């Protein structure tokens, strides 16, 4: 995260990106918005919105 932390002005987006990266690297049988959100007990809609952004 140290390499990209400076790209985020606020700490909240930095934390969200860190959580997302950790969930993407997790040992899950399938990786889609739903399983990633459930793995971290996050809101599914938040990750669905992030995945939809270009």
- pLDDT value at position 30? 85
- pLDDT value at position 41? 65
pLDDT tens-digit map of 8-51:
899 988 988 888 888 888 888 888 877 777 776 655 555 555 55
- pLDDT value at position 10? 92
Domain limits at 46?
5-52
Tokens 């919105």, residue located = 49
Q: Where are the alpha helices (DSSP H) in the chain?
A: 11-25, 33-40, 44-52
- pLDDT value at position 54? 53
- Collapsing DSSP states into helix, strand and coil, what is residue 54? coil
Any residues with CB less than 8 A from the CB of 34 and at least 6 apart, and which? 44
Whether the CB-CB separation of 32 and 38 falls below 8 Å is answered with no
Look at residues 9, 40, 41 and name the one whose alpha carbon lies nearest to residue 26. Answer: 40
Q: How many domains are contained in the chain?
A: 1
Whole-model pTM above 0.85? no
- pLDDT value at position 22? 85
């Amino acid at each position: 995260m140290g390499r990209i932390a400076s790209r985020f002005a606020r700490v909240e987006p930095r934390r969200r990106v860190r959580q997302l990266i950790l969930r993407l690297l997790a040992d899950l049988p399938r990786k889609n918005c739903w399983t990633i959100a459930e793995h971290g007990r996050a809101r599914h809609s938040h990750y669905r919105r992030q995945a939809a952004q270009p």
